[in-house]
Amino acid sequence: MNNALKKYWIVVVSLLIGLGTPVFGQVDKYNRAIECFQAQNYDCAKSAIDSALLGKELRNDAETWQLKAFIYWELTRKPEQKFKLYSAYRDSSIKAAIISNSLKPTPEAFIKNNSIIKKHAEAYYNMCIKFLYDSLNYEKSNIAFKKYKENYSKVDSTFDFKAKDIEFYSAVGSRFSELYNSNPTKSEYGEIAKVALMKVIELDPKNISANINLGIVYYNQGVGLINQMSIDTPLDKLEVIQDNSNKLFKQSLPFMNKVYSLDPKNLKALESLRQIYQALNETEKSLEFNKKLEDAKQGQ
Amino acid sequence: MVRLIKYVLVLVVVLAGFGFKQNYDTNAKIKAVYIYNFTRYFEWPDAKKSGNFQIHIVGTNVSLLKELNDMAAKKKVGTQSIEVLNTPAFDGKSKPHMLFLLPEASKSLSDAISKFKGKGTLIITEKEGAAKTGAAINFVIVENKQKFEFSKISTNKAGLKASEDFKTLAIAVD
C-alpha cells in the first residue's frame, strides 16, 4: 500500500469513528438520563437528556422525547417551580410530550404522554385556585385557568369545559364579592366579582348563587355610595349620588327577582328584595317582601 | 420505563359569600345630609345664636338618630355644638332650632306651629301635604328619590330666613 492509499484509509476510518462516536455517545447519554431519573437526580437527568437530543439520531425517537417530558415534569414539581405561571420546564415538558406523540409511539406511550400533559393542565388548575385564594390575583388566576383549558384540550379536544368554567368563575365571583361586601372601599373587587358572576350567569342563567351574589354586589355598591358620602355633601351633589345609587339598586333587582322566581322561599332573595325596595323608597313592596320573608322563616 | 407519578388534583369547595348590608338604612343617611345642609341655608334669630344648636326628633327612627348623633359628634353650626333630642311624642317642652316630626308624630303639626310661631324653630315633616299646612320643610319621595318641599311662607311665620338660592333646590309649595 502506497502512502497515498494509506492516508486515504486513515481518513475514511477516522471519519467512520468520528461519525460513530455521537451515536454511541447519545445512547449513553440517554441511558445516563434514565439512571439519573431513576435515582431522582433530575438535574443530572435533564443535562443528559438534553445532550442526548442534541444529535440527529435520537431526535426522532418517541421514547427519548417521552423521557424528556417526564424529567421536565419532575423539575416542575420542585417547590420553587410548582406554582410558577410561566415555567420553561413546564413548557419543555409539554412540548416534549407532544413531539413524542407525533413520532408514532406505542399506544401505551401515547397514553403516558397524554397523562403528562394532563398533569400539567391540572397543575395550572391548582395554580388558578392558589392565585385566587392565597394572593387574590385574579389576573394570574385567570391566565392559569386558560392554560389549564388550553393544555387539557390538547389531550381531549372534545372535553366540554362549561362545568369547569362555571366552577371557576363562581369561585372568583363569590371570593371577590365576599371581599367587596366586607370592605366596599375596595371597588376593584366588586368589579372583578361582577364580571365573573356575569360569565356564570351567561353560562347558567338559573345559577342561584351567582344571581344572588351579583344582586348583592350591585346593591352594596349602591349602599356604598350613600354610606361613604360625607355629611356635608352639598344638596346638588346629593341629588347625583341618589341617582347613581338608585341605578345600582335597580340593576340589582333583576338578579334577585330571578332567584325569587326560581325559589320563592329563598331567604336571601326575600331579604334582598325587601332591602332593595326600601332603598328605592318603595315602601309597600318592601313590606310585602318583609311579610314573605317572615312567612318563609316560619315555614322552615 | 418511566415511573408514573400519582397526582391528586386539589379540589376546592367554593361557597358563595353573603355580605349583605341588611340593616343599613340609606334613607336615614340621606335625611341626615339634608338636615345638615338645612343648617347652612337658614338664618336663625339672634336669640338662638348661642348655646347648643338643638335638633329635636319626635317619633322613632333609630337609624336617623344614629346618623344625627354621628353628625353632632363631628360638626358644628357656626360656633354652636349640635345637640340631638328625641322624644316619642311632641310635648312642647323643648325650644329647638329644628323640630322634625316623624310620620307617626305628624298629627302634632298644628300644635307645633302654634307653639313655635315666630320663635325661630324650623319645622320639618314627612307627611304628604304637610308643607301646605304649616311645615317649612316636608320630605317627599319623587321617582324613588328623597326630596323636600319648601314653604317660604311657613318659614317666615316661624321667624326664620331662608337664603335666596334655597328655593331652587327644593320643591317650592308657595
- pLDDT, tens only, B49-63: 999 999 999 999 999
Rounded to whole angstroms, the Cα distance separating A29 from A242 reads: 74
3-state secondary structure of B68: helix
Torsion sign across C-alpha atoms A249, A253, A254, A259: positive
Rounded to whole angstroms, the Cα distance separating A134 from A116 reads: 26
Question: How far is C-alpha A107 from the geometric centre of its chain's CA atoms?
Answer: 30
Assembly ipTM: 0.88
Alpha helix (H) ranges present in chain B? 26-41, 62-74, 109-116, 152-157, 166-169
At residue B8, does pLDDT exceed 80?
Answer: no
Rounded to whole angstroms, the Cα distance separating B163 from B157 reads: 15
**Which CATH code for domain B26-172?**
3.40.50
User: Quick one: cell of B155?
Assistant: 318659614
Q: Please provide residue A41's backbone torsions phi and psi, each rounded to the nearest 5 degrees.
A: -100, 85
A190 in contact with B, Cβ within 8 Å: no
Q: Please provide residue A161's backbone torsions phi and psi, each rounded to the nearest 5 degrees.
A: -85, 5
User: Quick one: cell of A52?
Assistant: 442526548
Rounded to whole angstroms, the Cα distance separating A157 from A86 reads: 23
Interface of A with B in 80-109 (CB under 8 A): none
Report pLDDT digits (tens) over B66-107.
999 999 999 999 999 999 999 999 999 999 999 999 999 999
Rounded to whole angstroms, the Cα distance separating B54 from B32 reads: 14
- Structure confidence at residue B1 (pLDDT): 36
Task: Identify the burial level of A116 via C-beta atoms within 10 angstroms of its C-beta, where 0-12 means exposed, 13-18 middle and 19 or more buried.
Answer: buried
Phi/psi zone of residue B78: left (φ > 0), alpha (ψ -120 to 50 degrees), beta?
left
- Structure confidence at residue B11 (pLDDT): 31
Nearest Cα neighbor of A27 from A52, A44, A2, A45 is: A52
Strand partners, B54: B83
Q: Please provide residue B60's backbone torsions phi and psi, each rounded to the nearest 5 degrees.
A: -115, 120
Kind and range of the H or E run holding A175: helix A162-182
- Structure confidence at residue B14 (pLDDT): 42
Report pLDDT digits (tens) over A97-136.
999 999 999 999 999 999 999 999 999 999 999 999 988 9
At B145, is the pLDDT very low, low, confident or very high (cuts 50, 70, 90)? very high
Residues of B with CB under 8 A from a CB of A: 1-5, 7, 9-10, 12, 14-22, 24-27, 29-30, 32-34, 36-37, 67, 70-71, 74-75, 141, 144-146, 169
- Structure confidence at residue B17 (pLDDT): 41
Digits of tens for pLDDT over chain A (300 positions)?
Answer: 455 555 554 444 443 333 444 455 778 899 999 999 999 999 999 999 999 999 888 999 999 999 999 999 999 999 999 999 999 999 999 999 999 999 999 999 999 999 999 999 999 999 999 999 988 999 999 999 999 999 999 999 999 999 999 999 999 999 999 889 888 888 899 999 999 999 999 999 999 999 999 999 999 999 989 999 999 999 999 999 999 999 999 999 999 999 999 999 999 999 999 999 999 999 999 999 999 999 999 987
pTM here is 0.82
Rounded to whole angstroms, the Cα distance separating B23 from B25 reads: 6
Report pLDDT digits (tens) over A29-61.
999 999 999 999 999 999 999 999 998 889 999
User: Quick one: cell of A33?
Assistant: 438520563
Percent share of chain A, pLDDT over 70: 92
Q: What are the extents of the domains in chain B?
A: 26-172
A126 in contact with B, Cβ within 8 Å: yes
For residue A300, the number of C-alpha atoms closer than 13 Å in the C-beta half-sphere is 10
> End-to-end alpha-carbon separation of chain B, Å?
96
Report pLDDT digits (tens) over A65-76.
999 999 999 999
Task: Identify the burial level of B82 via C-beta atoms within 10 angstroms of its C-beta, where 0-12 means exposed, 13-18 middle and 19 or more buried.
Answer: buried
Rounded to whole angstroms, the Cα distance separating A193 from A210 reads: 10
Rounded to whole angstroms, the Cα distance separating B148 from B31 reads: 10
A170, A199 Cβ separation under 8 angstroms: no
- Structure confidence at residue A15 (pLDDT): 38
**Which of B6, B7, B26, B40 to probe the A interface (max A CBs under 10 A)?**
B26
**Beta carbons of B19 and A73 less than 8 Å apart:** no
For B34, the closest chain A residue by CA position comes to: A235
Rounded to whole angstroms, the Cα distance separating A209 from A206 reads: 9
Nearest Cα neighbor of B102 from B139, B69, B131, B71 is: B139
**Which of A40, A65, A242 to probe the B interface (max B CBs under 10 A)?**
A242
Rounded to whole angstroms, the Cα distance separating A178 from A175 reads: 5
Side by side, the strands of the sheet bearing B76-77 are B76-77, B80-87, B53-58, B98-101, B122-125, B137-142, B145-150, B171-172
